[in-house]
Structure 1
Amino acid sequence: MEGETLSSGGMGNGRQMDGKMAQTFQKNFVQVQNILDQNRLLINEINQNHESKMPDNLARNVGLIRELNNNIRRVVDLYAHLSASFTKSMEASSEGNSAAKPGHKRNRPPP
């Protein structure tokens, strides 16, 4: 199991599924990394504003913290989407494997 790809198990379109899955993961991870990079900048600015103790800077932090919270929500949503996509692909792979190998079903002995 460990190290297996979705193309193993006799699925005709497994390589295509691997490619699609890899593209989905890559796209989502790039988005997550970009958001996390942006969050690092926001946190640095929030800290600088807080240390300055200037009223305008402290007031600006309210908006920056809201933006940070929204970014965190986006990261959670992206990971949830990734998880759902992965689960869906694994289920499709599993269905394809069982359809390709009908003799591997466990049959109950007659009573």
Structure 2
Amino acid sequence: MEGEPQRGVDGRVMQTFQKSFVQVQDILEQNRVLISEINQNHESKIPDNLGRNVGLIRELNNNIRRVVDLYADLSTSFTKSMGNSSSDADSSGAKAAHKRNRG
């Protein structure tokens, strides 16, 4: 049957999305904990705690970069999966129409 391979692709794509979203949620939870600790350290005004915030803020920034990268990967995967699900005829027709409209 023709539809079965497509379901397999969709299943893999959905697994990738789900895995990435779980990773994002885990990182965001880590960020919540980091932000809480950073705030506590800041409020304490204890020099050692304030110094520790430098490392915590670096960790927070790295986590944010990881989230951005995960979302970029998700976007790429989604775009590729949409490209695989549309026919080449539709794609080439859209490109031809776009060229006609530009020019």
**Smaller-chain TM-score range?**
0.7 to 0.9
- Structure richer in helix, relative to its length: 2
Deviation of 1:12 after TM superposition, in Å, equals 4.4
Q: Matched residues in 2 for 1:65 and 1:95: separation?
A: 47
CA displacement at 1:95 relative to structure 2? 3.1
- The structure with more radius of gyration: 1
Query: For residues 28-58 of structure 1, what are the alpha-carbon distances to aligned partners after superposition, in whole Å with 9 as ceiling and x for unaligned?
Result: 0000000000000000000000000000000
1:33 aligned partner: 25
Task: Summarize deviations over 1:68-101 as a string: whole Å, max 9, x none.
Answer: 00000000000000000000111111137x49xx
Report whether the alignment pairs 1:42 with 2:34: yes
Hey, what's the Cα distance between the residues in 2 that align with 1:94 and 1:11? 13
Q: Name the amino acid aligned to 1:87.
A: T
Name stretches of at least 5 consecutive residues in structure 2 with no aligned partner: 94-103
- SS of structure 1 residue aligned to 2:86: helix
* TM-score, normalised by the number of residues in structure 2: 0.81
Count of residue pairs brought into register by the alignment: 90
Aligned residue among 78, 83, 89 for 2:81: 89
Q: Is the contact between residue 35 and residue 75 of structure 1 (CA under 8 Å) also seen in structure 2?
A: yes
Matches within 5 A, 1:68-79: 68-79=60-71
2:10 corresponding residue in structure 1: 18
Identity of aligned residues (%): 71
Contact 1:46 1:64 in 2 (8 A): yes
Any gaps of 5 or more consecutive residues in structure 1? 1-9, 100-104, 106-111
Structure 1 moving runs of 4+ over 3 Å: none
TM-score using structure 1 length: 0.76
Aligned Cα root-mean-square deviation (Å):
1.8
